[in-house]
Structures are given as C-alpha cells and as structure tokens.
C-alpha cells in the first residue's frame, strides 16, 4: 500500500471482487453531500467500484451501469438518503449539463458518484474525492485516490483505516 502523499492513496486490486469490496468500504463512510469522481477508460472498473460503493452505502437496489440512463437515483431504508449515480460520458456542453439536471443534483445535499467526471470538470465544486482507475492486466486494476479538500482528505484517512488498518 504505497502512500504517495497525505491526500493520495495508490492501490492495486487483483480482482473485480476486491475492487467491489474497496468500493463498499468507501461507501460505508460516505455522508450526504459527498462527491466521488470516478475517472478511467472503458473497462477500467468504474461501475464495479460504483456497485461496491452503493452496497457499502446501503442502496436498496444494486448500482448498474448508467450508460443508457444518465442519472440513476438510489435510496436506502435506514434514513431515506439519496445517492445519485451519474454517467457524464456524453455531456459535452453547459447545455448538456443543464438538460441532464446535473447542476441541480450537484447543489443538493446528497451523495453523488460521477463516472467520466473529466467531461464536466469545470462544473465540479473544488472539493471532492477523485479516483482514477486503470486496467493493468487480467483482472488487476490500479486505483489512485486523491482527496481534494479537507473533508476528502479526512475521508481518505478513514478509508485507509477501514481498508488497511493504517492512518
């Protein structure tokens, strides 16, 4: 578990199951208003990681690929909080962002997972957790976590603790 800097964590996952478990550990720590940005090429594991986040967060219905529906809304029974899972791949302009309702979603106090966030980076608040996923070989994935802002540096520290017993 090489730690690059206080606000970064570089992890190698050896299977889809492990990627999902990492997502679940992160999901269990999320609070309303948290924004998780998942960047990476097709097949890098963004949706597998998202599914894990949803499971750890407590989504009643498993997260699936948002490719054909840009925004999926998930709820959990324990407190009726909302998690938005958004695919930004086809968003190319301010008009696209507005028509998808993303400006409204980003202003809510809900947990938000954004796949392909680089498409809308100029619309993102300065503070968020950015996760870059890369396909290595076989089922191995590299996940680079970057905490941007105090809340996300703290979230990354908590994630280190629950995932590796390190702080």
- Cβ pair 82, 57 in contact under 8 A: no
Judged by DSSP in three states, 16 sits in helix
Structure tokens at 105: 């979603």
Instruction: Quickly list H helices, 41-121.
Output: 46-57, 94-99, 102-107
Q: Would you place residue 3 in the very low, low, confident or very high pLDDT band (cuts 50, 70, 90)?
A: very low
pTM check: above 0.85: yes
Torsion angle of the four alpha carbons 26, 29, 32, 36, in this order, in degrees rounded to the nearest 10: -20
State the pLDDT at residue 19: 97
- pLDDT-above-70 percentage for the chain: 94
Residues 51-79: tens digit of each pLDDT: 999 999 999 999 987 666 788 899 998 89
Residue 134 per-residue DSSP state = E
CA distance 47 to 151: 24
Average pLDDT of the segment spanning 27-43: 96
- What is the rounded average pLDDT for all residues in the chain? 90
Residues 123-132: tens digit of each pLDDT: 899 999 999 9
């Amino acid at each position: 578990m090489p730690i690059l800097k206080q606000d970064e964590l570089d992890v190698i996952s050896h299977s889809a199951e492990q990627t999902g478990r990492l997502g679940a550990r992160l999901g269990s720590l999320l609070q309303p208003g948290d924004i998780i940005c998942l960047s990476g090429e097709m097949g890098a594991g963004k949706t597998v990681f998202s599914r894990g986040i949803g499971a750890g967060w407590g989504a009643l219905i498993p997260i699936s690929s948002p490719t054909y529906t840009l925004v999926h809304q998930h709820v959990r029974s324990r407190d009726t909080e909302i998690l938005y899972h958004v695919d930004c791949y086809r968003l190319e302009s301010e008009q696209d962002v507005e028509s998808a309702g993303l400006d409204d979603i980003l202003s809510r106090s809900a947990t938000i997972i954004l796949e392909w966030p680089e498409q809308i980076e100029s619309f993102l608040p300065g503070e968020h957790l950015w996760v870059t996923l890369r396909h290595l070989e076989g089922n191995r994935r590299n996940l680079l976590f970057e905490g941007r802002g105090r809340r996300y540096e703290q979230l990354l520290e908590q994630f280190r603790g629950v995932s590796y017993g390190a702080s």
